[in-house]
Structure 1
Amino acid sequence: MPANLYFFFPYLLFSSFVWDCSGADFGGGSENLYVKLGSLLPTPVCSMPASTGYERSAAIRVVHRHGPCSSSSQPTKAAIQILLEDECRVNSLRSRISKRVLQGQTLLPAHDGRLVETGNYVVTIGFGTPKRDMTVVFDTGSDFTWIQCHPCAAYCYPQQDPIFDSSNSSSYLNVSCNSAECSQLKSTAGNAPGCSSSTCLYGIRYGDQSYSIGFFAHDTLTLTPSAVVPNFPFGCGQRNRGLFGKTAGVLGLGRGKLSLVSQTAQKFSRVFSYCLPSSPSSSTGFLKFGEEANYNSFKFTPLLTQPDAPSFYFLDMMGISVGGRKLGISPMVFSSAGTLIDSGTVITRLAPSAYSALRGAFRQYMSNYPSAEALSILDTCYDLTGYDTVTVPKITLQFRGGVDVNVKGILYGSSPSQICLAFAGNNAPDDVAIIGNKQQQTYQVVYDVARGRIGFGEAACT
């Protein structure tokens, strides 16, 4: 380690833009869903599928970071705390897209700057030679991959896996400060994160003041035994603080040049997919890389790009149906601010008028159930104490190309006395809409970046 590394680190921690932040079983007919209330509530038991298929090439098991299937074994978070953290992530994400800056504050000149905490899903992958398994958050809203590295000691947060020691990896190599790659890092960041002696450094601060700073390096990344990525660029974090739970870091699946998707373009053709299970606290899904034959049966909608946020995945949303009836919402409501799909956001956010229409129709269908107080950002809640099963209207999100996504994640809550509609309204019409991971559950969502499309396959991990 360069002798002056820790002397340099404080200068990376500029004042950044900040927001003040402190599954279900379904059945039913064509227009309704019958939801077992118990399937919405936390459980301490991990439900593993009899045949996982994770042994196949480039397929990795996905679990919820706060659920019993996670090796991090964190206590289950209160529903309201997850919602508060989710709102912080959304606010920070919007600020980056719209480039809003509060008076007296500046954006940190580094890679992606958003909250990683919330209802995130994790995967376990290997770093180094010989490989060391690390459990990381996977995030379509980030480009840069990083993990904590020895010797950070007092500058690391507690994690479940042993901290990665680069000196034990025969394939580890720091990136030179004068290299083209370091320049690429600077270009992507918008400003030079810095150098220590001849070693390139990176710096990331997220929206809640979490951060990671360290060496920009290369090493072997092992996704599965048959899917190995040599010389993968990543951050070897020496100073790391924040709400990352007990994970080792972040796996960036955005569209930027340094993301895993771009770095493995030749191997996996810039195609990946995931399936998030209907019961995130107790069951598992998967993350896959590369094309599959069954994608031919999927429904695809065009992948859009917003010039101010080229790493994000935008879709063209066209409408919403509730109980089989399309709501009278003008397509301009969806197109004016745009709609992105994000693996790290929990609750779907809609334009105020679109949410108002959805809420009104949903409340009409649910008028026979007793109402309850709002739960944080969720304002349509019910006291379902004493109910074993509830009937809810089917909600369908409609995208360009005739793609209809019949949402399974309709309800959210941690107590029978407060179960809520799992959608929220934006504060302003020009706030970007976001399709959260709650509404993506059980679908295999395919990100085909090379062909400019996103696909949906039903019942992939029920």
Structure 2
Amino acid sequence: MGKEKVGLVALVMIVSSWLVSPSSSSSFRGDLTRGKAPLTFGSPSSSSSSLVLNRVGSSVVFPLDGDVFPTGSYNTTIYIGQPPKPYFLDPDTGSDLTWLQCDAPCVRCTETPHPLYRPSNDRVICRDPICASLHSGDYKCDDPERCDYKVMYADGGSSSGVLVKDVFSFKSYGGGDLSPRVALGCGYDQEQKPGASIPFLDGVLGLGKGKSGIVSQLSSQGLVRNVLGHCLSTHGGGYLFFGNDLYDSSRIMWTPMSHDYLKHYSPGTADLLFAGKPTGQKDLLLVLDSGSSYTYFSSQAYEALSSAVKKALDRKPFAEALDDPTLPLCWRGRKPFKNIREVRKYFKPFALSFNSGGRTKNQFEVPPESYLIISAMGNVCMGVLNGTQAGLQNMNLIGDISMQDKLVIYDNERQLVGWQNSVDCSRPPKSRTFAA
């Protein structure tokens, strides 16, 4: 199987899995357990932030590496600590907490591209609001001077650790340095499901809506607006940004965030169209999750889409490739395919039509290159999977594959989700604030 991941599961806090195959995920909800590993912290560091630039309106941009297939994830480099050290993190809109695999010492850690993070001596206390946001109800503190956490993932994997604060070093897009102290998880005990594909990363960049989310923390310090966005390229790479001065709002199709999924980035309900025509699937509650490589529909919507795709391929030079284990639905041609361009003309786009709160409908268009991949066997495979079989129940989840070549924006201040179709994600736009 590829290194696909599926998100939007957790205990009390909502996070995304970066470890799961589409046939083996499940959803969890319950009490947090607390790790008991002895902690050895690094040298004390200043508790004050060094904020060279301290004004709302600045944006921070991060180049992205990776792809949906064959890498299985996107990642960005974040510099943390004093002196700053680089770490490769999985940007995850379905997860609140940023955490690193951590040597405190590490009980169980997977292989990482950099040395394990050595935590600062600035611990987050148990009654800190950020700690409280990771727990449910009237949680108890085993140690009032520390905040323990445990998050569980869709495939049964988990991360346990303790919260600390450390310096994150950013470059403002308009010039200037940002060096805020940010709460993050020191993950010293990671459990993985046997056989799960594990990305070669140092940890997760939590972009969720909660207080522990990195954008929420930066916003509370007056550094950026509580807005984030990403642009994932079908050619690999792209960019991620914090702040609201890197796009023209008038060009974005906006829809209100759903009140049914307050902890998720959800644009609400949509009707599923294929080749511009209704499929009969209406009022699908959608969630946008950069922590999932592929898109997942509930059983009925998945069957409707896969049947429509198969019907459109009638009398075309394709045969179903039952021997290809890459994804559940693959087709072979007369000879192996090298790229999506060779097959694009045979496949039709699908779209999700959202009611934007009035009479107008905003369409989230998904062209063939944003739901198909070419496998290592040279077959074309559909990157929309059955979420019900994957344990997501009736949730419909838009993953990385279907957000490619789109500017996707999460405006937490206005409670809006927006997107712009057909965008060149290879380079970030010029800042409206600092453009000459």
Q: TM-score, normalised on structure 2?
A: 0.71
1:330-349 equivalence runs, <5 A: 330-332=281-283, 334=284, 338-349=285-296
- Pairwise CA distance, 1:81: 7.0
Aligned with 1:79: secondary structure? coil
Output the amino acid matched with 1:251: L
Deviations 1:68-93 (A, max 9, x none): xxxxxxxxxx438769924268x43x
1:267: which partner in 2?
Answer: 223
Cα gap change, 1:330 to 1:206, in 2 (>3 Å): closer
1:284: which partner in 2?
Answer: 237
1:146-165 equivalence runs, <5 A: 146-153=99-106, 155-165=108-118
Name the count of aligned residue pairs.
352
- Pairwise CA distance, 1:430: 5.8
- Pairwise CA distance, 1:302: 1.6
Whether 1:125 aligns to 2:78 is yes
Residue segments in structure 2 that go unaligned for 5+ positions in a row: 7-18, 36-70, 427-436
**Equivalent residue in structure 2 for 1:370, among 314, 318, 326:** 318
1:70-81 equivalence runs, <5 A: 78-79=1-2
- Pairwise CA distance, 1:109: 4.3
Is contact 1:86-1:346 (8 Å) kept? no
Whether 1:299 aligns to 2:253 is yes
- Pairwise CA distance, 1:244: 4.8
- Pairwise CA distance, 1:426: 4.0
2:332: which partner in 1?
Answer: 383
Deviations 1:202-256 (A, max 9, x none): 2333333433333321111123364635221111233334365331111111111
**Equivalent residue in structure 2 for 1:239, among 189, 193, 199:** 189
Deviations 1:46-104 (A, max 9, x none): xxxxxxxxxxxxxxxxxxxxxxxxxxxxxxxx438769924268x43xx34xx5xxxxx
Whether 1:405 aligns to 2:340 is no
- Pairwise CA distance, 1:339: 1.4
Is contact 1:137-1:247 (8 Å) kept? yes
Aligned with 1:237: secondary structure? strand
2:90: which partner in 1?
Answer: 137
Deviations 1:8-38 (A, max 9, x none): xxxxxxxxxxxxxxxxxxxxxxxxxxxxxxx
More divergent stretch after superposition (78-87 vs 141-150): 78-87
Whether 1:326 aligns to 2:326 is no
In 2: Cα distance, 1:359 partner to 1:207 partner: 24
Output the amino acid matched with 1:459: V
Structure holding more helix per residue: 1
- Pairwise CA distance, 1:176: 3.0
1:46: which partner in 2?
Answer: none
1:35-114 equivalence runs, <5 A: 78-79=1-2, 85-87=20-22, 91-92=25-26, 95-96=27-28, 107-109=31-33
Is contact 2:124-2:163 (8 Å) kept? yes
1:120-269 equivalence runs, <5 A: 120-153=73-106, 155-166=108-119, 172-177=121-126, 179-181=127-129, 184-185=132-133, 188-190=135-137, 192=139, 194-196=141-143, 198-224=145-171, 226=176, 228-242=178-192, 244-265=198-219, 266-269=222-225
Output the amino acid matched with 2:413: A
1:461: which partner in 2?
Answer: 425
In 2: Cα distance, 1:300 partner to 1:385 partner: 43
- Pairwise CA distance, 1:182: 6.8
1:437: which partner in 2?
Answer: 400
Output the amino acid matched with 2:295: T
Residue segments in structure 1 that go unaligned for 5+ positions in a row: 1-77, 100-105, 112-117
Is contact 1:193-1:203 (8 Å) kept? no
Give the superposed CA RMSD: 3.2
1:451: which partner in 2?
Answer: 414
In 2: Cα distance, 1:451 partner to 1:264 partner: 17
In 1: Cα distance, 2:328 partner to 2:153 partner: 28
Aligned with 1:161: secondary structure? coil
**Equivalent residue in structure 1 for 2:308, among 361, 365, 372:** 361
In 1: Cα distance, 2:237 partner to 2:131 partner: 39
Moved over 6 A (4+): 80-84
Output the amino acid matched with 1:156: C
1:395: which partner in 2?
Answer: 350
**Equivalent residue in structure 2 for 1:423, among 384, 395, 400:** 384
Output the amino acid matched with 1:234: L
Is contact 1:217-1:234 (8 Å) kept? yes
